[in-house]
Structure 1
Amino acid sequence: MTLRSLDELESLLARQIERFNQRRRDTRKWKNFLFNAQVSCASLTTFIIAANIKFGNVELNIVAAGLSVLATSFGIFQTSYRFHDRLHAFTLTSSQLQGILARLKLQRLKHADDPIACPLNTATVDHLFQEMEITLTRSNEQWSNMMMKNKPKASLDDLFKDPNSQQE
């Protein structure tokens, strides 16, 4: 006996796993690029400053300052986009989905070994589908919480508001 819904769920899980793995690969690529760019700019800045001690060239000071600004910008960008947290979230979600997929495949094998002791029915599919939905919902909630942490706590208007003002 084959349940088309079980086949569809297996396919859906595989697509979701691939989606999160692709996000993880892209995030890791950007994180590594930004880290390497920051380290390179910081290293070149130090080298130029050290070399410029001997020469005292104004142009080299400008180049060193520009590289320092770039290094700082790469670091700020890396921090503000929370690449480490994103990697963690994508890895966790992918791992949880892989666990559900493994349970699905194991359930199918157990049913093939002993269909009476381990029945395979739509209730099994529903349960595994609900597990997948819960995992994706938690992932979305974590993502939303992560994005809310990125938002500033106060706007510029709030910072410059008269503290004695009664307006809200």
Structure 2
Amino acid sequence: RTRRGSHNLQGPIAIDGINNDMTVLDVKGLLQAQLKAQPIWLTVVPVDAATAEKTGMMMMQTGDHFVTDPAGGYMKGKGVAKVKRVRDGVCGVCNEADLALLVLQPEQMTLMHDGVMLPDESPLGSCGLVNNERIYLDFKPPWPQPWVPDPDAAPPKGGGGDKKGGKKKK
């Protein structure tokens, strides 16, 4: 058994049935199956206290980690979701459009242990893991990140030189 932690999630994801002969790619497949069996939603649109009080919805911060409310379940397609926030256990309702279901393909995941990236083909036995060890999971979050440059974005226009439009001085 190992636990997956991430700076994008507010709680670990426990995965059973792991042994030393499995590869990191096998673990990513188990993690993908776990996310399908026990869905995780992340807030992509924050809701402040004033809006929450007016609408009767939960107050949410960008990146809040939610799971299905055990008492109510998730009402897909109804516009409203009954969820439980992981960081404090508060249950409530929120707009379905304010949440993003966490769906990760194995190639979108990076697993690390003790600060070292684990290659997909390496067996877990070679990684030095022990029972109930925590492995770090990194993935691109579903909310916008203005502080992180997009590697696919076009380079900025203009290429230096004299700001007045003249020739450069030597």
TM-score of the superposition, structure 1-length normalised?
Answer: 0.21
Of structures 1 and 2, the larger Rg is shown by 1
TM-score of the superposition, structure 2-length normalised?
Answer: 0.21
Larger % of helix: which? 1
Larger % of strand: which? 2
